[in-house]
Amino acid sequence: MQHPHPPRHRTRSHRLLGGIRRWATAAAGALALTAGLAAAGPQASAASLTQVTGFGTNPGNLSMYAYVPDNLPTGAPLVVALHGCTQSASDYSSHSGWPKFADSQRFALVFPQTSSANNANSCFNWFEAGDSGRGRGEALSIKQMVDKAITQYGSDPRRVYITGLSAGGGMTANMLAAYPDAFAGGSIASGLPARCAEDLTAAYTCMYSPPDRTPAQWGDLVRSAAPAGTTSWPRVAIWQGTADTTVRPANATELRDQWTNVWGLGQTPSRTRSLTGGTTLTSYDDSSGRPAVQVYSISGMAHGLAVDPGSGADQCGTSGTYYLDTICSSLHTARFWGLDGSGGGDGGTGALPAPTGLTVTAATDSGVGLRWNAVSGAASYSVFRDGAKVSTTTSTTYTDTGLATGTAYGYTVAAVDSSGATGATSAAVTATTTGFTPTCHTASNYAHTTAGRAYASGGYTYAKGSDQAMGLWNTFTTHTLQQTSPGHYVLADSGCHA
As annotated, the active-site residues are 166
Q: Using alpha carbons, select from 324, 320, 109, 327 the residue that is nearest to residue 237.
A: 327
Instruction: Decide: residue 48, CB within 10 A, 0-12 exposed, 13-18 middle, 19+ buried.
Output: exposed
Q: Using alpha carbons, select from 433, 398, 4, 423 the residue that is nearest to residue 199.
A: 4
CA atoms in the 13 A half-sphere facing the CB of 334? 28
Amino acid at 381: Y
Q: Using alpha carbons, select from 258, 216, 214 the residue that is nearest to residue 234.
A: 258
Taking the C-alpha atoms of residue 236 and residue 189, their distance in angstroms, rounded to an integer, is 11
Taking the C-alpha atoms of residue 306 and residue 324, their distance in angstroms, rounded to an integer, is 5
- DSSP secondary structure, 152-177, as one string: HH---TTSEEEEEETHHHHHHHHHHH
Going along 178-290, which residue ranges are E strands?
185-189, 235-241, 271-275, 279-285
Going along 332-387, which residue ranges are E strands?
359-363, 368-371, 380-385
Amino acid at 180: P
Taking the C-alpha atoms of residue 178 and residue 135, their distance in angstroms, rounded to an integer, is 8
Taking the C-alpha atoms of residue 116 and residue 414, their distance in angstroms, rounded to an integer, is 48
- Rg over CA atoms, the chain: 23
Residues making up the chain, counted from first to last = 498
Taking the C-alpha atoms of residue 245 and residue 30, their distance in angstroms, rounded to an integer, is 11
Strand partners for 298: 241, 279
What's the Cα-to-Cα distance from 496 to each of 198, 217, 439, 441, 492, rounded to whole Å? 46, 48, 8, 9, 5
The answer for residues whose C-beta is within 8 angstroms of residue 437's C-beta and 6 or more apart is 405, 406, 498
- Sign (positive/negative) of CA torsion 400, 401, 403, 405? positive
**Residues 106, 177 contacting (CB under 8 angstroms):** no
